[in-house]
Structures are given as C-alpha cells and as structure tokens.
Amino acid sequence: MEHSVFYRKYRPQTFEEVRGQEHITESLKRDLEEHRISHAYLFSGPRGTGKTSVARILARAVNCEKDPGPCNKCEVCSDFSSGRTLDLIEIDAASNRGIDDIRAIKEQVLLMPSKGRRKVYIVDEAHMMTKDAFNAFLKTLEEPPEHAMFIMATTEPEKMPETIISRTQHFKFRPLSEKLIAETLKEVSKKEGIILKDEAAILLAFLSEGSLRDAMNYLTQVRSLGGKEVGEDEIRKAFGVPSVHLAQRLMDSIFKKDLPRAIENISEIEKAGASADLFLKMLIRNYRFLFLSKISSSFTVKMKEMVGERDYDYFLEKLDGVNAEDIQNSLVTLLQTANERYAGPHQTLPLELAVSKIISGK
C-alpha cells in the first residue's frame, strides 16, 4: 500500500481542518470574507507543515460558488478537488526551473479561467528557480492579469530574491508541536482501528521533527507491521529509535559525573541497533525540557502534556537536583555536536566526546 496513504487520506480540505497554523488560516479567512485577496502569496516553512494543503484550499476558496468558500460541495470545488479543473496549475519548480518554463507560464497566464473566477498557479519549491527565471517571473508578479493568482511554496525562503518576496503576501508556516502531532496521530489511529499507545504517539511525534506529513507517513508504516496495538517497543524496533529509558539512564550518569558509566550507557545504543543521531536528538530534546522548566514554571506545567505522564515524572524529579547554568552549558555542547558532520565508522564517537566534555566541565 502507498507509503503516504494516511497523509493523503486525511489531508485537510478546509481551513478549520489545518493543524497548528491558525495564525495563517484565520488571516486568510478574514481576507476572503472582506474580499481582500492578494494576487501573489509566498508560503514558507519546514516540510510537511501544510503549505501545499493551504494553497489548494485557498485556490478552491477564491473560486467557490459560495462566498466565502470553500464549501467543497459545489461543482467548482469538486472539479478542483478531483483535479478535473483547468484553472489550477501546479508547478514543481525543482524540475521546471528555467526561463523557458517561466515564459510558458507567462503565455498561459493571459488565458481566462475556464469556469472559476481565478486561474491559480501553485509553484512548489519556488526557491529552485534560476536567476533568469526569477527575473522573467518578476514582471508577471508586478502586473498580473486580474484573473491570475500565484501561490509560491518554499522550505528555503532565504534563497528567494527580495524583489520577489516584496511583491507577495508572505505567510510563515511553523513546525507543529510534538503534543499536537501526537494528538493528531491518536485521532487518525482511532479512525483506522489502530490502538496507538500514548508513549508510541509521542515517539512518532519526536521522530517527525515538527512535520505532520512525516508523522503520518510513519503511522502508515506502523500499520503495515500488521498489529492492531502499537506501543513504544514497536516504534523503537521499526525506526531505530533509542529507548527513552536509555536516554534517562545516560542523563543520570551525567548528573552523577560518572563518565565510565556514561560511556557504558552510550555503548548500549549500538547493541540495541538504535541510531546515534536520533539518540543525540532525544538528549537535546530532554535537556531543552529541563532548561525551559528550570527558568519557567509555566513551561513545567505544559511539559506534562508534551512528554506524557511517565517521562514528566522523571523530569520533575530531576529539576531540583540540577541548575539552569549547567543544563544550558550541556545543551550548548550537545547542539555543537549535532551540527558537526562525522562520517567515520564509529557512530557514537561524537556523543562520547560530548558527554566527556559535559562531565569534565571543560
């Protein structure tokens, strides 16, 4: 079965169904109600955060027979949803990035919509266009036909020319919180007849790094394992995720400044067949939780919802025994280690060096 089936099956069809981007969807809904729609938008943000979904919803909304849309019931909405319309053109700039491709768009854009009010062009991976293509596209953005709308999506807005960005309405999509992703996975699992344990949902959310699409793809893989009940062990074995308990044991060794024991803990990563990179990310996540909880009591309350009750009890127990400065210094060392590239055969070496540095205080 197709890897991305859950993500496609549960792709949001209305602004209300979009998760974690209310600052964008509410603004677009107001603009639709007040008929203040722009001719050009730029949606930027990490992968899997809803850029293309919102672009498609907006494309239906500006053409919907109901005002404001989308109603997802009228003929126009149905045509847009099914891909039958000629008024929605989706372009992958990664493979259609040259000046000739943009010239073709400039010719097409003069054509009136076949049925709807607007002809909408969604340009994915817009940052991949060549310099000449951007220059050619600029004139169209400056003086677009009344019926044309452009929605550009990118994960790397810093690569977009300022002359292009300044002529768009720019919306910045945010990574989704682990809590929101875990809740969404639980909802989808329930609909699909999968019993996804809380700890498993949190691990999948951790793995996805703020991308709901990645999380849904992981859930699709989980279903292919065949079991109706999915717990932490199944997630660990399927994706090489290190044990939460192992991460906590290493943290205990660090807090006790027991380097031999800490190195022993790290050696368990390879024995368990887990990923050292994921283990490092888990440590960074845990230290961040401790750091923020140490400096903000309000975050301590939020943390319970983010990590689950069992892990929350562990963090709460450790808070009194550590100081914010030590946690901050440890976090800096771990982040530096994560940013360094190591392609050698000993995957745990960077982590061993980082832990040694943290314990020695040098």
- Three-state secondary structure string covering 55-105: HHHHHHHHHCCCCCCCCCCCHHHHHHHHCCCCCEEEEECCCCCCHHHHHHH
Q: What is the pLDDT of residue 108?
A: 85
Point out the least confidently predicted range of 14-18, 286-290, 332-336. Answer: 286-290
Asked if the model's pLDDT at residue 166 lies above 80, the reply is yes
Integer Cα distance of 114 and 86 in angstroms: 6
Average pLDDT over residues 178-188: 93
Range scoring the smallest mean pLDDT among 4-8, 27-31, 247-251? 4-8
Q: In CATH terms, is domain 244-360 a member of 1.20.272.10? A: yes
What pLDDT does 305 receive? 67
Decide if pLDDT at 1 tops 90: no
pLDDT classification of 162: cutoffs 50, 70, 90? very high
* Each residue's pLDDT tens digit, 210-233: 999 999 999 998 887 777 789 888
The residues facing 81 across adjacent strands are none
**How far does CA 127 lie from the centroid of its chain?**
18
């027979």: which residue's tokens? 65
Q: Where in the chain is the domain with CATH 1.10.8.60?
A: 178-239
Question: Does residue 242 contact residue 236 with C-beta atoms inside 8 Å?
Answer: yes
Q: CATH 3.40.50.300 spans which residues of the chain? A: 21-172
* pLDDT reported for residue 284: 94
> Of the given ranges (55-59, 134-138, 250-254), which has the lowest mean pLDDT?
134-138
Q: Answer for the pair 187, 216: CB distance below 8 angstroms, yes or no.
A: no
Contacts of 200 (CB under 8 A, 6+ apart): 222, 230, 231, 232, 234, 235
Q: Kindly tell me if the per-residue pLDDT of 312 is higher than 90.
A: no
CA distances from 319 to 312, 323, 324 (A): 11, 8, 9
pLDDT (average), residues 286-314: 79
Of 62-76, 92-106, 171-185, the one with minimum mean pLDDT is 92-106
What CATH number has the domain spanning 21-172?
3.40.50.300
Stated pTM of the model: 0.86
| Closest C-alpha among 288, 275, 282, 283 to residue 205 | 282
CA 233 to CA 312: how far, in whole Å?
Answer: 19
Say yes or no to pLDDT of 285 above 80.
Answer: yes
Quote the CA–CA distance of 304 and 248 in Å, as a whole number: 16
Query: Is 256 in a helix, a strand, or coil?
Result: coil
Share of the chain above pLDDT 70, in %: 96
Options 1.10.8.60, 3.40.50.1780, 3.30.365.10, 3.40.1190.20; CATH of 178-239: 1.10.8.60
How far apart CA 286 and CA 54 sit, in angstroms, is: 32
Percent of the chain with pLDDT over 90: 56
Q: In which band, very low, low, confident or very high, does the pLDDT at 120 lie, cut at 50, 70 and 90? A: very high
Give SS3 for 120.
strand
2 pLDDT above the threshold of 50: no
Is pLDDT larger for residue 54 or for residue 144? 54
23: three-class secondary structure by DSSP? helix
